[in-house]
Amino acid sequence: MSLIKDEVSLSAYLNEDNHINTNVRMQLISRHAHLFDGKNKEAIVFFALRTIEQRHQYERRHFLKRARKEGILAKSSKPGEVLDLTQDDSGSEAKNDDDVDQEKESGSEDESSASEYSSDEHLDEKESTRRLHPVPDRLSPRRRHHHNHIANNKRPSSALKRGLKKTRDQRVHAIEVQQFLRACQPPMDRHLQHFLDFGCNSSEFLRGMSLWAPKKRLATLKKILTGPEGESVATEMELAVIENHLETYFADEM
């Protein structure tokens, strides 16, 4: 969204204080040097306002951080106005003590609104007391999800258990494939690693192959029994033995 020069005046914000003017201009030149060519004034106004706002937010955060550290109570009588109560003189402190005594004697409801730990529902819009929350510690909800926090299901012990279970299941399925190849006549268990590398690592896979068409089953067996360089590691007789064994091995289960 572009800004109109008639609506926003840069001089109204920068001419009040020469120090702020110099600081903002230095930040604008360092961040957006391409804007100072005298062509796009609206962009200069926009980035100047944003820089002023960021500077204001930085000073506000710095004050609130110091207030939390030193236990300063910031009292706001008007929206946007913050008063540091630690800078009051002795006369004002005595006056505040007298006011506190009068409030205790009268028992008015202003005591709850002027208290540092009063709840938001008792605060008045005109005369409100802002409670400064303490700096979060390691037990607060904000620190509960730390970047070094490891969930129980992500810990090395749990991962090790899952890995052992997965390895155990793979070993059981590999034994089933090995038994199938050993049952061939002659035994073909020397091709076990080729079946496992292809992904044929369970009896369910072999059972599914037995239901395929002969042409598709033979083509899949040729892919399984192919070396890394594309050469065939099984003869035509071995392919025929394994294919015939697929048809008869699972025939009793059907």
Calculate Rg over the CA atoms of the chain: 40
Pairing of strands 74-76, 83-84: antiparallel
Residue 112 token pair? 């709850």
What would the pLDDT profile of 149-191 be if each residue is shown by its tens digit? 555 555 555 555 555 555 666 676 778 888 888 888 888 888 8
11 or 208, greater pLDDT? 208
Average pLDDT over residues 136-148: 49
The dihedral over CA atoms of 187, 190, 194, 199, expressed in degrees to the nearest 10, equals 60
Both structure tokens of 164: 């052992």
Q: Is the pLDDT of residue 91 over 50?
A: no
Q: Residue 41 pLDDT > 50, yes or no?
A: yes
The number of CA neighbours under 13 Å toward the Cβ of 69 is: 6
Provide mean pLDDT across the span 236-253: 84
Q: Say if residue 210's pLDDT is above 70.
A: yes
Has this prediction a pTM greater than 0.75? no
What confidence score (pLDDT) does residue 204 get? 85
In whole angstroms, what is the distance from residue 180 CA to residue 247 CA? 12
Place of tokens 């009292």: 75
Cis-peptide into 214, omega within 30 deg? no
